[in-house]
C-alpha cells in the first residue's frame, strides 16, 4: 500500500522516523516533505499536497504531522475527498478507519512519544473500513455536501 506523509518542522523528526519505519514494514512510502528541517516552514503546503496526492491516488492513505496535529488536520481536510482524523490514542486511529473511512491520519508530534505515534500510525494503516451501512451513509452525505455545497435537510423533531 502506498502511504503519503507530510509535516512541518514540528513533525519533521516523527515524519522522518515513520518514513523509514513504514518502508521497512513493506509500505510504499512517499515523503511529501519537508525534506530538510526548517524551523520557519509552514504546514499548509505540505498537508494540502499530501491530501491532494491521497485523493488523486485511489486506495492510498496519508499521514500529516505537526506539533499538535490540529492545523495539519484542518489543512488536509480542505482538499475535497479528504477525511482526515486527529488521533490521540490507538483506538481513535482505528475508529477513524472503521467508522469514517478516514484516508488521512493527523498526529501531534509534541503530544506523543515516538512509540505511541508509531502505534497510532500502524493501527490506522492496518484497520479497514467496517463497511457498515450507517457509516457509509454518513460518509456519502459528507461527499454529497462537498460536491453540491448544499446543506442536508435537518430531520423533523
Query: Among all residues, which ones are annotated catalytic?
Result: 72, 99
CB contact burial 107-139 (16+ within 10 A = b; e otherwise): bbbeebeeeebbebbbbbbebebeeeeeeeeeb
DSSP secondary structure string, 38-98?
-TT--HHHHHHHHHHHHHHSTT-EEEEEESSSHHHHHHHTTSTT--EEE-SSHHHHHHHHH
Sign of CA dihedral 53, 56, 57, 58: positive
Amino acid at each position: 500500500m502506498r502511504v503519503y506523509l507530510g509535516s512541518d518542522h514540528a513533525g519533521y523528526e516523527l515524519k522522518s522516523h515513520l518514513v523509514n519505519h513504514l518502508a521497512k514494514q513493506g509500505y510504499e512510502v512517499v515523503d511529501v516533505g519537508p525534506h530538510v528541517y526548517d524551523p520557519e516552514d509552514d504546514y499548509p503546503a505540505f498537508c494540502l499536497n499530501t491530501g491532494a496526492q491521497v485523493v488523486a491516488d485511489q486506495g492510498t492513505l496519508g499521514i500529516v504531522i505537526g506539533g499538535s496535529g490540529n492545523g495539519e488536520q484542518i489543512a488536509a481536510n480542505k482538499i475535497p475527498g479528504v477525511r482526515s482524523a486527529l488521533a490521540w490514542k490507538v483506538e481513535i486511529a482505528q475508529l477513524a478507519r472503521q467508522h469514517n473511512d478516514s484516508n488521512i491520519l493527523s498526529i501531534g508530534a509534541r503530544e506523543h512519544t515516538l512509540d505511541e505515534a508509531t502505534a497510532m500510525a500502524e493501527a490506522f494503516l492496518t484497520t479497514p473500513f467496517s463497511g457498515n451501512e450507517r457509516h457509509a451513509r454518513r460518509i456519502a452525505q459528507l461527499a454529497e455536501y462537498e460536491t453540491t455545497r448544499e446543506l442536508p435537510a435537518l430531520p423533523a423533531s
